[in-house]
Amino acid sequence: MTELKYCCGLVNSDKKYLSVGFANSVNADGTSLKAKQRWNLEQGGDDTVYLKHSNFYLTTDKMGNVTCAEDKTDDAKFRVETQTDGRWAFRSVPYDKYLGCSDTVNTNATKAEERQLWTVHMDIHPQVNIRSNIRDRYAHLEDGELHFNEVIPWGADAIVTLEFHGGRYALRVCNGKYASTSGSLVDSPTDDSLFILEFHGGKAAFKHSSGKYMAAIGPKATLQCAKSQRTKPGKDEVFVLEDSHPQGILIASTGKVASTRQGVDVSAKHALDTDVEEGTFNDKETWQLEYVDGKWAVRTAEDKYWELKPTGGIQADAGSRSNSGCKFELSHHENKIALKGDNGKFVRPKESGHLYANADGADPAEKDLFIFQMVNRPQLVLKGVQGFVGHGSRSKVECSKPRYDVYKVTCKDGYYNLQAENGKYWVVEDDQSISLGSAPDKFIFEYISMSKLAIRGGRNFTYLKGEQNGDFKCNGTEVDAKTTWEV
């Protein structure tokens, strides 16, 4: 898995964002979280951080002047002090003064008062997997609680959405409920389910306003508040936030689903053993796609990988993905995909249903095509280079929102529909823009890398492309930064 890089916006008491200005000057006049307001929290060790924008570091001097500089010196090192209301204060390590804003951004204050407190607006994709650092296990929904007992975060129940609420964060699980201090899930975010997000040595901690940290506790490693207060989180109270791989089912051209129901051989012999409408899927027919070295590995819930055998057969028995036989080329063909083994041949089911990479040809035949239906994103949040995807009061969907909207995803025959929380669907207008309407249009997902995809729609299934002004249209002709979406 890949740990998240922590990017954020810093909002002062005037509701303005810390921004980079002309000639690498620093001001606090940003009104929303855009490119000039994005800062990476780079760990400095001993709970210190650097604030990095592009290739420059926010730096101060003994006179309190603040600017951006290329050199990563001690003058750029700050210690974070979190407040009970969720705001952060940044204290200069060499000068022992606080970053604040009066007429200018400076480090002149000896105490952290209102002008020196910053609301941290995290600019990461909010849907994550959470791993307990000491237990090395992932959280997932089980028996109405979040338990850290999965070796691999599998399925939609392992996706946790971080919701920002005025400086604090709520942890929302796939059933729409929220983690609370007691360990039970609650229907809405209240004080008992809102937490200050802290970072310690690159790891995340969730601190309640009572001063207690959330921890993985007991034989089931239930996420709940620790019994005692701490000045710093303990070993059970720090977590790693990670992006997640796409997981889904593979339906062969025969209409049968690929599975390992009969051992390590991968075969497509049976109808889908699931209730698609309910979103429940058998682990033996669900696969994780992992992007590695420009190709894809296919992982099972039992922590094994597909491997191409000398006979051409596919077995799910490899302990790692390092073998070249575990890496497949993935190509998209409208609503379907094809997989090519390292022998240069496409994967297809034999009459017996067993999958073999023995199909010759430069292009895949219909028998070599599979529908891959992603199942671990029933609720989708999209983030692009310009910001989040969301809609306003006019029902127009745009791509430069500072806050995201959540869309319900359904799939049929490899085509996806996206539905807003108000019940309306994505539709493609005559100018190729996206709006919300009553009758859904079809979209295609193309898998680009670990947690990124391209989306195609419209008359000719062209790529959804985002522009800096928020335009979100099916007018892209290639996969690039503007047509790639983090999920």
Tokens of 121: 């607006």
276-283 mean pLDDT: 63
Residue 274 has pLDDT above 70, yes or no: no
Q: Are residues 24 and 108 in the same domain?
A: yes
* Residue that terminates a domain, selected from 92, 122, 152: 122
Residue 244 has pLDDT above 70, yes or no: yes
Number of domains in the chain: 4
Burial class (CB in 10 A: 0-12, 13-18, 19+), 295: middle
Q: Is the pLDDT of residue 107 over 60?
A: yes
> Residue 404's domain spans which residues?
379-486
Whether residue 281 is predicted with pLDDT greater than 90 in this model: the reply is: no
Cα 398 to Cα 387: distance, rounded to the nearest angstrom = 9
**1 located within any domain:** no
| pLDDT for residue 363 is more than 80 | yes
Indicate the residue among 221, 242, 263 that finishes a domain: 242
pLDDT of residue 260: 95
Return the pLDDT at 380.
95
Does one domain contain both 401 and 480?
yes
Q: Is the pLDDT of residue 361 over 70?
A: yes
Token pair belonging to 422? 């108000």
Q: For 166-178, how does the pLDDT look when each residue is reduced to its tens digit (9 = 90+)?
A: 889 999 999 999 9
Distance between alpha carbon 299 and the CA centroid of its chain, in Å? 19
**Residue 154, SS3 per DSSP:** coil
**Angle at the Cα of 88 from the Cα atoms of 82 and 89, rounded to 5 degrees:** 100
The answer on 368 and 252 residing in a single domain is: yes
Helix (H, G, I), strand (E, B) or coil at 375: coil
Q: Please give the Cα distance from 17 to 122 (Å, whole number).
A: 12
Does 147 map to a domain? yes
Q: In this predicted model, what pLDDT tens digit does every residue of 12-37 receive, in sequence order?
A: 999 999 999 999 999 999 988 888 99
Higher pLDDT, 168 or 280: 168
Residue 470's pLDDT band, with cuts at 50, 70 and 90, is very high
What CATH number does the domain containing 88 carry? 2.80.10.50
Lowest mean pLDDT among 256-265, 277-286, 326-335: 277-286
How far is the CA of 465 from the CAs of 383, 384, 389, 457, in angstroms? 12, 9, 11, 11
Q: What pLDDT score was predicted for residue 4?
A: 55
Which candidate, 186, 74, 393, places its Cα nearest to that of 405? 393
**Which pTM was predicted?**
0.89
| pLDDT for the residue 273 | 60
In a domain, 340, yes or no: yes
142 lies in the same domain as 83? no
The 10s digit of each residue's pLDDT in 72-82 is 999 999 999 98
Task: Over range 339-351, report the average pLDDT.
Answer: 97
